[in-house]
Structure 1
Amino acid sequence: MAGVGGSTAGARTRLAGALLAGTLLGGAALTGCGGGYTPSGPFREIPQGQPPQVGPPPGSAPAPVPGQPSTPGTQQEQAAGDPNVVATDLDVPTGLVVLPDGTAVVGERDTGRLLQVFPDRSPARELMVLPVDTTGEGGLLGLALSPTFAEDGLLYAYVSTATDNRVVRFPIGGAPNPVLTGIPRGAVANGGGLAFGPDGTLYVGTGNTGDPALAADPASLAGKVLAVDVFGQPVGAGPVTSRGHRDVTALCAGLDDRVYATDEAATGPDALDAVRPDGDVGPAGARPVLEVPAEEGGLGGCAVSGAYVFLGALDGERVTIVQLDETGRPVEEPESFLDGRYGRLRSVAVDPAGALWVTTSNRDGAGEPAEDDDKVLRVTPPSSGATSPV
C-alpha cells in the first residue's frame, strides 16, 4: 500500500515541467476537441437560450490573465489576508471547472448555486441556480466544461433529483436539459464524477447507493463509470465502461487517453482506479493505481497535469500528488500537500498557468468550519522555484 511522503528536489523539478507542458496542451485540447461520438440519428437541439457574457461583476476591471499565484510569506502579506484564498463564505463547493479566461465556476452541493470565482480575489459572482434534491447525500455533485465551450458555452452537471441522479447540460443562465437520466439515487454513495476525455467522450462516475450488488449488476447504472457522447448516447458497445465501484466521487482524464476515477470506500482504503473498457474493479477486479489509507483519504477530487495526478482528500485534509510512469503506475511515494492547513479539501483543478484550484468542504457536516468557510484556493503546487505552503 502506498503511503504519503516528502518529495525530492528532482521530483519537484519534474513536476514543474510536467505542469507547464500538461496545462498548455490541456488548454489546446479544451478548445479543439469535439469528437468521440457518432450520432444515432438526427439531433434536434432543445432551445436553451443565449448564455450571458461571463466576466467580472459590472463596473470592475476585466479578469486578469492568471499569473503565478502567491504563497504565504511576509507578515504584511498575512495581514492583508491569505493570498491563496480567492473566495470565501461558500456552502459546500463541490463542482469546479476552470474557464478559458482563467476564472473558475464553482457549484455548491446543497444550494445548487453556480458562482464565478476570480484569480485576483474579486468578489465571487452568482451566475445561476440549478434545481437539486439534497436529501441524503444528494445535490449538485459534479461539473464539467464542454470540450467546445468556446463555441457552445455549455456546462455539464451531475445533479440529484427526488427520483434519480442525472447529467444535465446548459449555457450559463439557461435552462438545464437532460443528457443522461435514470442513474440510481440513494441516501448515500450517489457518485458525481464527470470528465471529458481527449476525444470528447463524456465519462460519468456513479455510486452504488449503498448496495454493492448494484455495482456488479451489468444492467444497473449504479457503481459504474459510464461513457456517453455529448447527447447521452452510449460510446462503444454500451454506456458501462467500468464496474464494481462503491462511490465514484471524481474523474479526471490525461492527454494520453487514460481516465482515472476516485472511489471512496465505506471502510478501508480509498482507491484511485484506472478506467478500462469492460473493466472490473474491487476485490475481483483490477488492482487500483493507488490505495489511500482511510485516515488520509475521503477522496473527493481529481485532476491530471502531465504525469501527475492531484487528489483532494476530505478526511486526510490534504492534496495528495502522485507521479505516474508511462504505464500509468506510481513512480515513487505520493507527496502530501496543504496538510491540515485549510481543513477538508474536495474538488481540484489545474489552470493554464499551472496553478492548482482547490475547494474546501468544512460545512458538509463532518468538518469544523472557520468563520469564512467554505473557501476556494488557488495555490502554487510543489515545484522548483516556488515555495510550498506548509
Structure 2
Amino acid sequence: MHAPSLARLVQVLRTDVEKGLLPGAVALVHHRGATVLHEAVGLQRPAASGQAGVPMAPDTIFRIYSMTKPIASLVAMMLMEEGRLLLGNPVAQYLPAFAGQRVYDEATGQTAPVAREATVHDLLRHTAGLSYAWEAGTIPDAYRTARVGSRRHTNAQLAANLGPLPLVHQPGSRWEYSRATDVLGAVLEVIEGEPLGAILQRRVFGPLGMRDSGFQVPADQLHRLAEPFAKDPLTGDAVALIDVSAPPAFESAGGGLVSTAADYARFLQLMLGRGTATGLPGTDGPVRLASRATIDFMTADHLGSIPTAGDILPTGYGFGLGVAVRTATGLTTRPGTAGHYSWSGMGGTYFFVDPAEDLFAMVLAQAPGQLRYLCELYPALVYAALQ
C-alpha cells in the first residue's frame, strides 16, 4: 500500500484528536496477508477531575457493541454446518415465547396474526419484525415497559419478555435493525445448553487466540479499557457507555462484547480467509471454523428487493447474515467495491472487509456521537492508500 497515504490516515485521526472531536483511536489495516498499519492516537482515558489522561495504546480494550453481531452470526453458521440449526426453522421452535406472534398496525392501533412465523434466517438478516425501539410510539413503549434489553436480564429472560410483544412488520417483509441478534443469542444458548459467553469462548475466541475478547474486562485489565469524553464535543450531551467491569446477566449477542484491534483482526482474518485463518501468532497451524461456501453465503446479500426501514443501512448496501453487504461499487457516499461487507458499533467502532482487494480495516474509538463520521471517513482514508 501507499505509505504516505497510510501516514496521512493516522494524521487525520490525530488532527481529530487535537480538535477535540475524538478522545483517541486505534487504526488497523491488513492487506494481502500482512498488517500494514496498527497505530494508536490520542488518549485511552481523557483527563478528568484533575487526573492526567492515559495515552491510547495499540492493545487498548474497547466496547465494540454491534461488532458483536458478526461473531454471534458466525456461530450460527457453524451450527448450521453441523446440522444442529436450520435457518428455515421458526424461532418458536427454540423459543416458545415467539409462538403465535401478531403484528401491530399503526394506522388502526390493532394487531393481526403473522402471515408466516419468523425464522432464524429472519433473525440473522433483521427481517423478523422486531425493533430496537429507539423512537417514541406504542411498540417502543411496550419494549420499554417489558424492559427489553435490560442488562439485568439474561438472554432467556429477554426472549420471554420480547416474544409476546407485537411485531412492527410482517416477518420477511421489511429490514429493520433490531434486537434480532439478541434473540439469536438466546437460540444459540438453547441449542448449546450453555451461556453465550462460554459458547463464543469455546467456538471462536479460544481457537483464534482472542484473549482480550468477552463480555467483561477482568479487574487486572481494566487499566487498558478505553473511555469516552464525559460529554459529546458537538452536542454537549452526557456520554454513558455500558459497564463492562463485572460479568453482566445479559450477554448480548447484539452488542455486548469488548475486544482489541489485534483480537478483532484475528476474527476478520478468518472472515477474509473464507472460514480459515492462517499465520495467527500463538496458534498451531491454520484455524478453520467454517467452509468457504458458508462464509460466502453469510456475506452475500440476503435482502434482494426487500425494503428497509430507517437510514442505518446506506444506499447501495444490502444485508447478509450479520453484516451489511455492498451491492454496487457506486450508489453510496463512501468508497468500496461490490461484495465488500462491514458493520459498526454504536460506541464508535467500525470495520470493513473487501475480498476483491484482499483487505480488511477497522477503526476503534469510544465516541458514539462521531460514529457516522468515522463510517464515512475511514473507508475514504483506507482506499486512498491502495496502489
TM-score normalised over the length of structure 1: 0.27
Q: Which has the higher strand share?
A: 1
Q: Which has the higher helix share?
A: 2
Which one scores higher on RCO, CA 8 angstroms, separation ≥ 6? 2
TM-score normalised over the length of structure 2: 0.27
